[in-house]
Chain A
Amino acid sequence: MARLYDHHTPMSNRRSPWLTLVSLLVYAFLYAPIAVLMVYAFNSSRTNIVFEGLVNQGPCGPFYWFCRLSNNHEVLSAAGNTLTIALTSTIASTIIGTMAALALQRYHFPAKTFSEVSLYIPIVIPEIVMGIGILVLFSALFRWLNGALSLEGDRRLALGLGTVIVSHIAFSIPFVTLVVRARLHGFDKAVEEAAMDLGANEWITFWRVTLPMIAPGVLSGAMLAFTLSLDDFVITFFTNGPGSTTLPIYIYGLLRRIITPEVNALSTVWILIVLIALLVTQWLQNAEDPFRAVRILARAFSPLFQWLRPGR
């Protein structure tokens, strides 16, 4: 009887070949542009309109455009800015968002409804509205402060890394909160009460009981914040200033001039780094100790981070 059951194919696993075909086509649609992008990174034509053959120039051979990239100071400083912004805003928004999730899920306080509504606003309004809002705010604020404190020259407050980071924190908080709340939702409060009954104070309970249990949620929230920040174009576009160009902004700027295969090489490197990071986190999230992920990631990224620092 058991054997019979093993061979029985449930209806849910029977799929039509048409569905498989359509799915394969959609996957092809998703990957074709990325493949094209990567192939053109090895183009010998500088204008990069037609693929004229494999580039084979200089000491790097087919990786000519990649080598040029590694000598490009603008790219390196943009990469450094992108990582600085993403890391700083991820850390800040993860802490703030986790606090908000705890507050909303555990406590009752006067401004609760207002907080919940305000956290939904960035999700339901177009990003461009938020972007120009922040631009209007900072330009008004800086004009007033520069006048009031009579700041001159270099000391004048202007758009830059600081404004970008602060804005990225703003749009990341709601997403972190959402993810951590989802994790807290299915979490048995009795475990915390048991810890308190056994004499742990609130801090110890938080660090030893609550945080380890919600850690996967916090980590997913942080991952989400990090990718949102890396990918962001619109908010950064309106809040960056001289010296705080990020990679997406830099690539967008290049698109309006001549597009050399260097842009493709840059995109290829970006895609490969993201892919490796994804695989690593995927592998780490399956690990037993969720904090191991953070430690290993931090260790893995620190040399890269130092290497990419603009002032190097």
Chain B
Amino acid sequence: MNILKRLRDKNSRRGLWLISPTLLWMIGLLIIPLILVVITSLGQRDPDGNVIYTFSVNNYLRLIGYSFNAPCGDTPPPCFDDLYITILWRSLVLAFQTTVLVILVGYPLAYYVARAPARWRNLLLFLILIPLWTNFVIRVYAWIMILRSQGVINNLLEAVWPVILPVYTVLYNLILSPLSAFLPLHLSAPGAFQPLEMLYTPGAVLVGMLYEFLPFMILPMYTSLEKIEPALYEAAADLGASAARTFWRVTLPLSAPGIVAGTILVFIPVMGTFIVSDILGGRQVILVGNLIQRQFLDARDPTFGSAASIILMVMTLIVTIFYTRRFGFGEEIASA
């Protein structure tokens, strides 16, 4: 009754008219697809790759390690196989590592730009944005040229090797070689240059992620750092606080909303991305994004892929909800 009355109201009719295309899109291309993914994840795949709609949680059981058909090592099925749990865990750990690394690398720059003279600030900010606007795929590709065994880093190292070698020889003979008796150091003896194998390692994926998502963290951090009144720093200094104390007690707490917003902007996409790990990780670093992509394209089991995406969504939602409950959903997301 109440709703009918409100519908007759001119104000609410106009509001509904204005929101209706948005609702059409959000329901049609977001909510219905999500419901379909849930339904698909409960289905089963027939031998031809078609989806049979059932109501089974087998896909979820498989994800948490229950193997129905395939043996796990020597154990015949059904048994416990940690393949998919490992992938999920790896994605989560990598997303955390990326977020922490991005904060550590991005904070000094955000601080630097926020405290720069006003006339320089826009230019400095613009310089952070430009790499963001060059395409995502192009940015990952650039790292292949840098990291591969005949890439830029190895070429540079090879060029300066004659200089490094004597230093390394001295270091190796005096310190590193005796130390390796006590510590598990895997160092090669000094000799001819050998290219570092960096591409297709977890480290390469981490660097790629850092590069891709750095601007997403810097921008919201900058927004909250810029809002801090310079008078506050002066007040802290006048009251006798050291630079370090001012940082821990004034700057960091006041810039926390930016870090929270940046974390949401970085953590969620890192959890789901598959391009970086696909291009820089090769077959070595498989994340949940790669798992989903392969189920939909190569392995042709949409039901298992759907289950994996539901798990992925739940994992990111839990982290996001925890985060927003704890710290609030910053306005910084809007300004980024």
Contact = CB atoms under 8 A, between A and B. Distances in A.
Interface residues of B, number: 95
A26 interface: yes
A136 B36 contact: yes
B133 A278 contact: yes
Interface string B196-232: 0000000000000001001100000000000000100
A167 B115 contact: no
A266 B15 CA distance: 45
A107 B137 contact: no
A248 B134 contact: no
Given A19-B112, A30-B128, A36-B145, A170 B25 contact: yes
- Residue among A19, A129, A282 with the highest chain B CB neighbour number at 10 A: A129
Interface in B253-284: 264, 268-269, 271-275, 279
Interface string A254-281: 0100010001000100110011001000
A57 interface: no
Contact of B30 (A109, A121, A128, A181): A121
Given A125-B268, A137-B33, A140-B36, A34 B131 contact: yes
Interface stretch (A58-66, A225-233, A298-306): A225-233
Contacts of B313: 125-126, 129
Contacts of B21: 96, 99-100
- Chain A, interface residues (CB within 8 Å), range: 35 or more
A119 B310 CA distance: 19
A72 interface: no
B60 interface: no
A33 B146 contact: yes
A109 B333 CA distance: 26
A247 B141 CA distance: 13
B22 interface: yes
B127 interface: yes
B30 A19 contact: no
B134 A271 contact: yes
A267 B18 contact: no
Contacts of A103: 14-19, 22
Contact of B138 (A102, A112, A251): A251
Interface string B144-163: 11101011100100000000
Contacts of A51: 155
B317 interface: yes
Contact of A251 (B141, B215, B333): B141
A135 interface: yes
Interface string B29-59: 1111110110010000000000000000000
A253 B294 CA distance: 15
A87 interface: no
Interface stretch (B78-86, B103-111, B165-173, B178-186): B103-111
A129 B37 contact: yes
Contacts of A134: 29, 33
Given A15-B112, A118-B31, A238-B296, A170 B141 contact: no
Nearest to A35: B142
Interface of A: 10-13, 15, 19-20, 22-23, 26-27, 29-34, 36-37, 40, 48-51, 96-97, 99-100, 102-104, 106-112, 115, 118-119, 121-130, 132-137, 140, 166-167, 169-170, 173, 177-179, 181-182, 227, 230-231, 233-234, 237-238, 247-248, 251-252, 255, 259, 263, 267, 270-271, 274-275, 278, 282
5 contacts: A118-B31, A126-B273, A128-B292, A129-B310, A231-B133
- 7 shortest A-B CB distances, which residue pairs? A126-B272, A107-B15, A133-B33, A12-B230, A33-B142, A109-B15, A103-B18
